[in-house]
Each structure stands twice: as C-alpha cells, then as structure tokens.
Structure 1
Amino acid sequence: MPHIAVLGAGITGVTTAYALHKRGFDVTVFDRQRYAAMETSFANGGQLSASNAEVWNQWSTVIKGIRWMLQKDAPLSVNPRPGWHKISWMAAFLANIPRYRANTIETARLAVTARAGLTEMADRSGVDFDFTPAGILHFYKSQKDFDHARRVTGLLAHGGLARQELTPDEVLAKEPNLRGDILGGFWTESDSTGDIHKFAVGLADWLRGQGVQFQMGHAVEDVCADADCVTLRGKEEQRFDGIVVCAGVASRSFAKMLGDRVNIYPVKGYSITVNLDGAASQAAAPSVSLLDDKAKIVTSRLGKDRFRIAGTAEFNGENRDIRADRVQPLVKWCETHFPEVSTENVVPWAGLRPMMPNMMPRVGAGRQPRVFYNTGHGHLGWTLSAATADIVAQVVAGKMRPNFTPSKSQTALKTAP
C-alpha cells in the first residue's frame, strides 16, 4: 500500500490524513509544532458557515481597503510597504473579480458538501469539540449592506444553501441579548459551530490509535520529488510514495521546492476568547452564532463558559504579532452589542490565513505525479476541510492506485494559480 506524507497537522492536514487512511493508505503527518492545530487552526471564529461563502473579489472590497488604509482599527488593514509577493497577489485578486459569482456559488456548494464528512469524522472518532447546531445569524445596520445580503442569498441558493430573511424583531427573537440598531438579518439554520482546535487534536489522537503516524515537532526543511519517490529532509531524510501539502502559509515555499506555484498570501486574522467566569456573563452572552457583516466580525459560543469573537484581515506579510489596536475593536464590539458580558478575562490570538487570490482552495495534483495539494482555504478552512480532504484523497487514490476510479462528483478543483 502506498505510504503518503502529509505536510501540516492543522485542520486540513488532519482531515486529509483521515480521508487517506479511510482509503487504506499508510499515512505519516509532519508538523513543526509539538501538537496538532497550534497555528491557524488554534482559535478561529468557530463557525462552520456555508452562509459565509461569499468570496472577497469585488471592487467594493478594493475601495474599502483603500479607504481603510489609514484607519488602524478598520476591518481590513493593508501595510502600504511594497513587496513583489503582495503586489502580484493583489493583481491576481483583481483579475479574479469576474469570477466572483461562480466562485461564491462553488464555495457554497463545497461548504454544504463538507457537512456530511465532518459529521462522519466526529461520529467515528467520538471527539468532543463543543459542537452546537444552533445556526448562524447575520445581522445588518444599513440598507445598502442588507440589499447586498439579499443578492448574496441568491448566489448561496445556487450553491445549495437556503437562508431566511428576518425582520428586526425576528433578529432579536433569535438572539434576545443582542443590542444595537438592527435593520434586519438572515438566518441559516443548517450552519453550526465548534472548537476547531479541540476537533483537530481529538481527531489526530484518534488517528494515532488507528495507525496513522504523527511526527510532531519535526520541521521539514526540504522536499523534492522524482519519478520514484518523494524525499523529505529535516531531522533525518525520509522517502514516501507521495505527498499532500497542507501546510497553510508555508505551502507556497514547499510548492516552489516541488516545482509548483501556489500563490498563497498570509492574511492575518484576530480573535478574542471571552471567558464567561460568572453566571451573569453566561446568561448575557449570545446562544446563537453571529456574523456582523459591516464590522466583518463573527462569534461562536463554545460551551457554557467561552465566547469567541473573531474578525479583521491584515495584509502584513508573515507577521504573527498580536497588535493591541487590532484586538481592541473586538473587545469594544462585545461591550457594545453585549454590554452585560464582562470583558475582564479576555484572551487575544492572531493567526495567518492561507489565502489564494481567487479565494478558492488549491486542491488536487501538482506537476509531479506524486505531489498533491490541499491548502489555501483562507477564512473557510474549518468549513471546507472535510470536503476538500475527500476530494484530494480521491485524486491521490486515482493517481497512486491505477485500478481505482474516482467517482464523477469527486474531482479536483480547477482553480486559478
């Protein structure tokens, strides 16, 4: 049976290991961290949100980005310092604006497809990850944003997702603790939330028990592929029959070593975890997951005593610094919309989202016959992971086991570089 190396033990790496193991492959997962899901998959917004499938490739995003460049607490922050990678990525981003509609529909379709796979993984592994099927509520404060949301709802419907338009009173009926001047909202009952870190760690532990190997704290320094094998060099040199790159923002450099161009840019996102230490805060925090489209902020309730608030996008290269001026808007948002929740005990975090310029994940085969990719999911890695893991595992099986024929519905995504 072919032995496949998986680079990265974040959510895409662990779910890819599951999908490969399910198909009978020997699998070894590598990660430079000592534990699974310690980087971008550590403390995201927690949403499994097909309703957030809209891609960012619009002229309105560009205009807002320019306007926000001098505003430190803006939802989108761009370091004006020039750099070839940033410039080339942004040029490709603009070139994909004509694909906005098609890519939004395809992302929604993938997100809906992913739900069954995630349920299967959770059921088989028995992992507890504070999952709740409570739905996701988008709310709006301006007519312009609300009208845009109506148009997006039509695109999501083409991707197989239904969501319900709500009046202001219906929004408050869904979440009575929400404060603010709300104009209306959209409710996606089929969306859900959970703790990505707990899920990835629990699934990794289960996979170990099934025979999947994890070489943690093992930084891969070099990788190359030829007709006979794939060679990884780090603490030692190891050879495999194939490789799947699931390395987040590091995927770009690994792809270059393997002769491919995977134009990922690191887009930093922030979150805070509000520890709900008392009964009053627990009662005042929302029970449903929220998305404030104007502020670009998402929330999740993780168990009874944690409230996760995440958002913002920062184009600042491979910079992992946690900036107070980017965290403070999240704290202020909590205090504005949920004033009875205590923000005395708040844990900030920042992670680098691996984003392709067309906002679509890079899934499928590389130039070399033994090389594959499952990376570049941007802000929807948690949401899409089960679907893209299944797709790439089917492609690997088709290439590495000649007698295996992938089903027509499970083919590699064809996305722009």
Structure 2
Amino acid sequence: MPHIIVIGAGITGVTSAYELARLGYQVTVLDQHLYPAMETSFANGGQLSACNAEVWNQKATVLKGLKWMSQKTAPLLLNPSFDLHKYAWLIEFLGNIKHYEQNTRDTVKMALLARQRLFDIAEQEQIEFNLEKRGILHFYHTQHDYDVAMRVNDLLCSGGLERHAVTVSDIQNIEPTLTGNYYAGFYCPGDATGDIHKFTLGLAHASQKYGVQYIYGVQVSQLKQHAQGVDVIYHASGENMHADAHVRQTIRADAIVVCAGVNSYSLSRQLGDRVNIYPVKGYSITVQLNDTLSQNNAPWVSLLDESAKIVTSRLGKDRLRVAGTAEFNGYNRDIRADRIQPLIDWVNRNFSLSTEHCIPWTGLRPMMPNMLPVVGRGKRERIFYNTGHGHLGWTLSAATAVMVSQEILAEHPL
C-alpha cells in the first residue's frame, strides 16, 4: 500500500488526507502545532461562499489599495516598506488582470463542486460544526457600488452560480436584524456558513477510522526526493515541550502533498518549485452573545458588506463571527487594535447587540498572484501540492482535495 505524507493539518491538509485514505492509501499528516486547524483554519469568516469567488485581479482593486494606503482602518492595507517577495508578487498580480473573468468563472465552478462535496462529507461522517444553510446576503450602500456589483453578478452567474438581486425591503425580510441604511443587494441561497475549526477537528477525527495517522508538534526541516520515495526529515517544533528539538527523525513516503499554507512558499523552493504564495493577513472577532437581547438581534443569515469588505457567520446560539480586511505586511501575526476596532464599530452600526465581549484573531491567507490554488504535481516526481487557496480555503478545499488525490492515484496506483 503506497504511503502518502501530507504536510499541514489545516483544512486543505486534513481534507486531502481524508480523500486519500478513502481511496485506500496509507496516510500520515505532519503539523507544527499540537492540534489541527490552528492557523488560518482557526477563526476565519466561516463562509462557504461560492458567491465570493470573484478574483481580486482588477485595476479597481489596485486603485483602491493605493488610495487606502494612508488609512489605518482601510479594508485593504499595504505596508509600503520594500520587500522583494511582496513587490514581485504584486507585479505578477497585475499581470493576471487580463485573466480576471476566466479565473473568476473557474473559481465559481470549483466552489460549487466543493460545496456539495463538503455537505456530503459532513453528512456521511456526522460532523457537527454549526452548519447553517441559510444563504449569503451581499448588500450595498450606494447606487454606484451596486451598479458595479451588477456586472460582477452577471459574471458569477455565467459560472453557474444561483444569485439574484434583492431590494431594500427584501434585505429586511431576509435578515430582519439589520439596522443600517442600504441601497440594494444580492442573495445567494445555496451558500452556507459554519465553524471551520470545528469542521476540521471533526474531519481529522473521522479520518483516523480510515487509518490516517497524525504527528503533531513537529517542524519539517528537510525534504529529500529520490528514486525510492521521499524522505521527510523533521524535529520537534517550538510548541512541543516534551521532545528534544535537536533530535532529527526521518519518515519515508511514496509521495508527499504540501498543504502548508503560507509555509508552502519556502517548502516549494526547497523542492525546486516556485509556488509564489504571499501571506495576506486577515482579522476576525468572535462576538460572544451572552444575553438574550444580543442572541435575538444577531443575524442568522450570513452577510457581506461590500463597501467595508466585512462578512458575518452565526456560529450557534451564542457566537457571531465577523471578519474582514486584507493586509500586505509579510509574516507578521500581531493582532492590531486599530484593525480590530473597525470590525467592532461595524457590528455596532448594523445591529442592536452587545459587543462587550469580543475575541480578536488574525490569520495569514496563503494567496497566489492569480488567486487560484496550486493543485497537482510539482516539477519532480512524488511531489504534489494542494495549497494557495487565499481567502477561499474552506470554500474550495473539498474540491481540490479530490483533484489532488485523483492525480496521485493516476501516478501512484494502489
């Protein structure tokens, strides 16, 4: 039985391990943390959002980014300090503007396949993760923003998405807890929300009954590809207090799948590939709905405010996830108060609920310049990738896991 090592126990790594094990492979997953889903899969916006599949490669995005550079509270923030990787990535991003429409359609199609696969997995494995199939409501504050969004909506629908225009009265009927002033919106009834951390934990647990082994608290230090397989050399990570970090261990596989999020960039260079992922920082708050009034006045339908670039997900009776912002600031994981406060202010503007208890979080989205994930074999035999999903990791992971597992099956049949 071929042995496959998956590097990374985030949503893409765990989903890849699950699909490979279901095919019949022996699978081992390595992760630097002590538990699965402890980085970007921990507290994201919670949306399974085919309706958010539009890639960012537009001139308008660049112009907004330049305008917002001096505003610390802007939805998109670029640290102008020189960094070769960052500016090379941005140049490549600009070069993909010409592929905007096709890449958006392709992403929609992938997201629709992934959405159904995830629903099927959750039902089959009986995973509880605060799933809400209530759709996603996008709203706009001005006619100009709505007119621009109308063209985007046509593009998304050309990729197979079911999404239709709604009036102000429709907005209030779909989500009556909203208290702000809105111009119009769009509603995608097929999309959903849930707790990505809970789902990944549940799937990791389910995958173990198919034979997946997890080794937590280890850092991959070297990868050696040769005719007989791939040697993965690792040592205890900084979180692993019960092991000697100086002791190196080696595990051999017939093939490896790199699902290491923003760390995939450095691993790919070691393997002779160029997976040009840049970390794009995002923030979230989890509002604790501790009183009956807040529970009654918090939305159940998932929302996306296009002007603020903020999304919401209701995670059970007593939690509301609010997420947004994109920050180009390297591998910095500091939680900045001036980036968290706009999320709290947005909640206070749009709802009548208490924001007294909010848990802040930040994560690094692994983003490619063309906004498409890297799925498939690298230059060398036995090396595969399922990484670079950007802001759509959860939305796309169930499809890309099937794609990479089928490619492995073709090259390393059981």
Q: Please indicate the TM-score interval, normalised by the length of the shorter structure.
A: over 0.9
Contact 2:146 2:185 in 1 (8 A): yes
Contact 1:291 1:297 in 2 (8 A): yes
1:374 pairs, out of 376, 379, 386, with 386
- Quick one: distance in 2 between partners of 1:254 and 1:227? 20
Matched position secondary structure for 1:87: helix
- Quick one: distance in 2 between partners of 1:43 and 1:291? 17
The residue type equivalent to 2:266 in the other structure is: S
* Paired-residue identity, %: 57
Matched position secondary structure for 1:40: coil
Q: How many angstroms does 1:115 deviate by?
A: 1.6
Contact 1:138 1:291 in 2 (8 A): yes
- Quick one: distance in 1 between partners of 2:2 and 2:318? 45
Matched, 1:360 2:372: yes
- Quick one: distance in 2 between partners of 1:275 and 1:31? 30
Matched position secondary structure for 1:138: strand
The residue type equivalent to 1:380 in the other structure is: L
Q: How many angstroms does 1:237 deviate by?
A: 1.1
Q: How many angstroms does 1:226 deviate by?
A: 2.1
- Quick one: distance in 2 between partners of 1:81 and 1:278? 44
Contact 2:22 2:210 in 1 (8 A): no
Q: How many angstroms does 1:323 deviate by?
A: 0.3
Contact 2:135 2:188 in 1 (8 A): yes
- Equivalent position of 1:332 in the other structure: 345
For normalisation by structure 1, the TM-score amounts to 0.95
CA RMSD of aligned residues (A): 0.8
The residue type equivalent to 1:63 in the other structure is: L
The residue type equivalent to 2:404 in the other structure is: V
Matched position secondary structure for 1:219: strand
Q: How many angstroms does 1:390 deviate by?
A: 0.4
Q: How many angstroms does 1:123 deviate by?
A: 1.8
Q: How many residues align?
A: 401
- Quick one: distance in 1 between partners of 2:150 and 2:6? 40
- Quick one: distance in 2 between partners of 1:97 and 1:344? 42
Q: 5+ unaligned residues in a row in structure 1: which ranges?
A: 405-417
Contact 2:371 2:390 in 1 (8 A): yes
Contact 2:36 2:204 in 1 (8 A): yes
Which piece of structure 1 moves more, 28-37 or 205-214? Answer: 205-214
The residue type equivalent to 2:213 in the other structure is: Q
Q: Deviations over 1:87-144 (max 9, x none)?
A: 1000000000000000000000000011221022212221100001011000000112
Q: Deviations over 1:3-24 (max 9, x none)?
A: 0000000000000001111111
Q: How many angstroms does 1:281 deviate by?
A: 0.2
Contact 1:226 1:368 in 2 (8 A): no
- Equivalent position of 1:240 in the other structure: 253
2:291 pairs, out of 272, 278, 284, with 278
Matched position secondary structure for 1:320: coil
Shift >4 Å, 4+ stretches = none
For normalisation by structure 2, the TM-score amounts to 0.96
Q: How many angstroms does 1:210 deviate by?
A: 2.4
- Equivalent position of 1:82 in the other structure: 82
The equivalences for 1:293-312 within 5 A come to 293-312=306-325
Q: How many angstroms does 1:64 deviate by?
A: 0.5
Contact 2:140 2:307 in 1 (8 A): yes
Matched position secondary structure for 2:362: strand
Contact 1:77 1:315 in 2 (8 A): yes
Matched position secondary structure for 1:42: coil
Contact 1:224 1:257 in 2 (8 A): no
- Equivalent position of 1:39 in the other structure: 39
- Quick one: distance in 1 between partners of 2:295 and 2:169? 23
Matched, 1:290 2:309: no
Q: 5+ unaligned residues in a row in structure 2: which ranges?
A: 236-248
- Equivalent position of 1:252 in the other structure: 265
- Equivalent position of 1:132 in the other structure: 132
- Equivalent position of 1:207 in the other structure: 207
The equivalences for 1:14-413 within 5 A come to 14-235=14-235, 236-338=249-351, 340-401=352-413
